[in-house]
Structure 1
Amino acid sequence: MGDFRAIAEAFVDARRHARALPDYPGTAPQDLAGAYQIQDAAIAIDGRMIVGWKVGRINPPLDAELGANRLAGPIFADTVVVAADSVPEMPVFAEGFAAAEAELLLHIAPGNAEARPQTDAETRLVIDEVRLGIEIASSPYPGINSDGPAVTASDYGNNHGLVVGAAVEGWQDVDLCAIPVRTLIDGEVIGTATAATMLDGPYGAVRFLLANLASRGIDISKGVWVSSGAITGVHPVAPGQRVEAVFGMHGSVCCTIGTAKVV
């Protein structure tokens, strides 16, 4: 546990001081159990309020090796921006890893921490809102994704913010997996897809997260956002760029990319 805590302290310190970590700060975890020990230690050291969780996919063959096809990471309240009439600037670690992802955001209603839905119909019953979103994936460590899912999970799942866009009206009757999604950077389309490519879709991400957090003893009884997974891909970004995610007839959400500052 000693090395896990030292790694967690290094990541929290690097994030607080907006500085890069050229090398992984210790012995990298080889499994998800170790990764979540580091993540949980970092959450405790960090102390900020968590209002959401990002869910990311683990691709074959690593899913079989690690025993899971998704991973999770916390989204802190002070990194969440509601996009209204303005286009928010979202900071990234420019010398680390930085990317943007078009995602559907599902809110688990208060009182559902013990829920274990098995189907999409059952999962809809624990959700009270669906919104358009952009996840900012950024870490002080440049190799956060290339070193594999356990390393990704160890540093907050590579999350550094969330842009919350418009609500999906009548979402209960909308096939979330059929919404055509486009991601643009500086006006150029760099990815198109639907959530149908995401394993068992956004509702599956909710089911995964409920089980994952329960196994770690994390309470979400007051409700929590789920950033359900990158639909069109994980798209590298740099400060000064503009990102737009378009969700068919349901609208779009935009942000610009800035540089992380000392907090």
Structure 2
Amino acid sequence: MPPTNEQENVARALITARTEKTPLTSYPGVMPQTMADAYAIQDAAIALDGRRIGGWKVGRIAADLVDHFGDNRLAGPIFTDEIFDASMGERPAMPVYADGFAAAEAEVLLCLGDVGTRDYDIDSVRACITEVRTGIEIASSPFVAINQNGPAVTASDYGNNKGLVLGPAIVGWQDIDLIRMPVEVFIDGASVGAATMETMLDGPFGAAQFLIRTLRARGIAIAPGTWVSTGAITGIHEIRPSQRADALFDGKIRVGCTISGY
């Protein structure tokens, strides 16, 4: 269904805050109470924004909220001009909203090929994945309390995404037990979290299956080459401008970035 006037006004206010780098101390309108309402605002914002989407972030919905919201994950767009390749050891400067919310998250990134029209399960979805990389998702919003008001609010503002760092590829991923791969995150050289993908529901391939299903339901085409940032492995690590973030996968694959601020 098309967005209501109220949803369009919220989308416009969120876009304006992002474009003008204006902090939001309160949500700019009626907070969405369902994922359908959240995606209506998100779709309106995408249309107003006009930039090309190069990927999608997938985030987890807390277990105690799954029944209310009808799913265990949420999605948000990642725009092409906010995706940076750091596969050769580069350390891109990733901007965040200094007076809003900002975090860095270690994630496995999947590149989708032609997904076609078939239905996928957790095993068959692997067939449409052309590359797997390490990476860091930058989460940031002008609304400082974005993560304190439930997943629908988070989803409404691009899923709280502000960019993606593409790290080195995981070579031979088809034959690796990704779920048990150790991952550690460092902020300014200090370890802030370590885990494996066993904490991520049904893992990165489950995130890809969720995204394909969700975007189809919203009538959004998935172009070959679309990246999927599959979810925070070690947690959501808040970060500020001038700090640096690093993620270490399998004890040997490293990706990093610095943080700049608006």
Taking structure 2 as the reference length, the TM-score comes to: 0.96
1:95 is aligned, of 86, 93, 99, to 99
Which residues in structure 2 correspond to 1:4-153 (within 5 Å)?
A: 4-83=7-86, 84-109=88-113, 111-120=114-123, 122-153=124-155
The amino acid that maps onto 1:32 is M
Distance 1:21 1:54 in 2: 22
1:7 and 1:38 in contact (8 A); partners too: yes
CA 73–215 in structure 1, closer or farther in 2 if over 3 Å, else same: same
Which residues in structure 2 correspond to 1:206-225 (within 5 Å)?
A: 206-225=208-227
Distance 2:48 2:261 in 1: 23
- Pairing 1:169–2:136 present: no
Distance 1:113 1:96 in 2: 39
3-state secondary structure, aligned to 1:104: strand
1:206-251 superposed Cα distances (whole Å, 9 cap, x missing partner): 0000000000000013331000000000000000111000001450
1:113 and 1:221 in contact (8 A); partners too: no
2:193 is aligned, of 191, 194, 201, to 191
2:89 and 2:255 in contact (8 A); partners too: no
1:101 and 1:233 in contact (8 A); partners too: yes
The alpha carbon displacement at 1:124 in A equals 1.2
3-state secondary structure, aligned to 1:238: coil
The alpha carbon displacement at 1:35 in A equals 0.2
Distance 1:119 1:21 in 2: 39
The alpha carbon displacement at 1:136 in A equals 0.2
3-state secondary structure, aligned to 1:65: helix
- Pairing 1:2–2:5 present: yes
Structure 1, unaligned stretches of length 5 or more?
none
CA 233–47 in structure 1, closer or farther in 2 if over 3 Å, else same: same
1:113 and 1:219 in contact (8 A); partners too: no
Taking structure 1 as the reference length, the TM-score comes to: 0.96
1:233 is aligned to 235
**What percent identity do the matched residue pairs reach?**
54
Distance 1:44 1:250 in 2: 40
Distance 2:90 2:121 in 1: 39
1:91-140 superposed Cα distances (whole Å, 9 cap, x missing partner): 0001110000000000111x2142321132x1110100000000000000
3-state secondary structure, aligned to 2:174: helix
The amino acid that maps onto 2:136 is I
The amino acid that maps onto 1:232 is T
